[in-house]
């Protein structure tokens, strides 16, 4: 086992709004993979599938409820997480924890997305 996490799903109430938010903040394409048989909308973040990279998606459907409680997902903040963090509020989210130094492990920050999920970022710089 290479990574403790191999996939994540972020629940959303408004798929298109969330897709636009994450595509902009993360500067990442989100590929639609709808599941009409389950009446769910599903969008996958870009990830390195060929090298067992950790991937994830946004999901809208019955039982998918955004929350500020529960597990915290840390998304890759890139070279400097301030680049992504600076886009959060301009795109409808709210910064909950500014860029915070965690010593030798780099930096973290947390935000509330457009759907009401608490999500975090991590970067080395």
| Tens-place pLDDT, residues 14-73 | 999 999 999 999 999 999 999 988 999 999 999 998 988 899 999 999 999 999 999 999
Answer whether 30's CB lies under 8 Å from 58's CB.
yes
| Tens-place pLDDT, residues 89-103 | 999 999 999 999 999
101 domain residue, yes or no = yes
The CATH number covering residue 59 comes to 3.10.180.10
The number of distinct structural domains making up the chain is 1
Q: How confident is the model at residue 125 (pLDDT cuts 50, 70, 90)?
A: confident
52 domain residue, yes or no = yes
55 domain residue, yes or no = yes
Q: Where are the beta strands (DSSP E) in the chain?
A: 7-11, 30-32, 41-45, 55-60, 74-76, 94-101, 107-112, 118-123
Answer whether 105's CB lies under 8 Å from 113's CB.
no
15 domain residue, yes or no = yes
2 domain residue, yes or no = no
1 domain residue, yes or no = no
Handedness of CA 41, 46, 51, 53 (dihedral sign): negative
Q: How confident is the model at residue 2 (pLDDT cuts 50, 70, 90)?
A: low
Taking 90 as the threshold, does the pLDDT of residue 1 lie above it? Answer: no
Other C-beta atoms closer than 10 Å to the C-beta of 39 total 10
Closest CA to 23 of 109, 106, 72, 87: 87
The range of the structural domain enclosing residue 86 comes to 7-123
């Amino acid at each position: 086992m290479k990574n403790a996490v191999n996939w994540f799903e972020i629940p959303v109430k408004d798929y298109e709004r969330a897709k636009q938010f994450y595509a902009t903040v993360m500067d990442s394409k989100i590929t639609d993979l709808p599941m009409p048989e389950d009446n769910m909308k599903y969008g996958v973040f870009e990830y390195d599938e060929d090298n067992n990279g950790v991937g994830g998606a946004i999901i809208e459907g019955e039982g998918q409820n955004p929350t500020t409680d529960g597990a915290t997902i840390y998304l890759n903040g890139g070279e400097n997480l301030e680049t992504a963090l600076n886009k959060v509020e301009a795109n409808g989210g709210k910064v909950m924890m500014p860029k915070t130094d965690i010593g030798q492990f780099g930096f973290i920050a947390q935000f509330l997305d457009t759907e009401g999920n608490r999500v975090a970022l991590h970067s080395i710089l």
